[in-house]
């Protein structure tokens, strides 16, 4: 079957760094996405990885290892507004269908 695993909830301190992991087992691989979703709002796109390595975008970075079926989202200099759920999604083939993880709820404390 197809499966994506993420921690259910994480807590971090304002100003610190947090790493949110995502592991996947899928029939194929054609890209991995991270989305941010604030409570009661729509998901918004954060990052896309299709090749191994690190993609940096401001305070947020995303890493992919295809051989290990593993990705992480790294958030630096945490701000209170980063309190949200972070959704990992994999495109397993060449169409546009995504397999979604259940999301990681990140709680930022002062």
Partner 1 sequence: EAQVTQNPRYLITVTGKKLTVTCSQNMNHEYMSWYRQDPGLGLRQIYYSMNVEVTDKGDVPEGYKVSRKEKRNFPLILESPSPNQTSLYFCASSPRTSGANVLTFGAGSRLTVL
Q: What is the x/- site pattern for partner 1, positions 42-71, by CB under 8 A?
A: xxxx--x-x---------------------
DSSP string, 69-94: TEEEEEE-S--GGG-EEEEEEEE-SS
User: 51 or 110: whose CB is closer to partner 1?
Assistant: 51
CA dihedral angle for residue 78, residue 13, residue 73, residue 22, rounded to 10 degrees: -160
Question: Quick check: 33 binds partner 1 (CB under 8 A)?
Answer: yes
By the criterion CB under 8 A, which residues form the site for partner 1?
Answer: 8, 31, 33, 35, 40-45, 48, 50, 87, 89, 91, 95-98, 100-103
């Amino acid at each position: 079957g197809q499966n994506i695993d993420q921690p259910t909830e994480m807590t971090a301190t304002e100003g610190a760094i947090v790493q949110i992991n995502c592991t996947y087992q899928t029939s194929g691989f054609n890209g991995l996405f991270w989305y941010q979703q604030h409570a009661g709002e729509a998901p918004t796109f954060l990052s896309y990885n299709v090749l191994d390595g690190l993609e940096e975008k401001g305070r947020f970075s995303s890493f992919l290892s295809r051989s290990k079926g593993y990705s992480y989202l790294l958030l630096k200099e945490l701000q209170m507004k980063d309190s949200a759920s972070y959704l990992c999604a994999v495109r397993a083939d060449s169409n546009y269908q995504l397999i979604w993880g259940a999301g990681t709820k990140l709680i930022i404390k002062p």
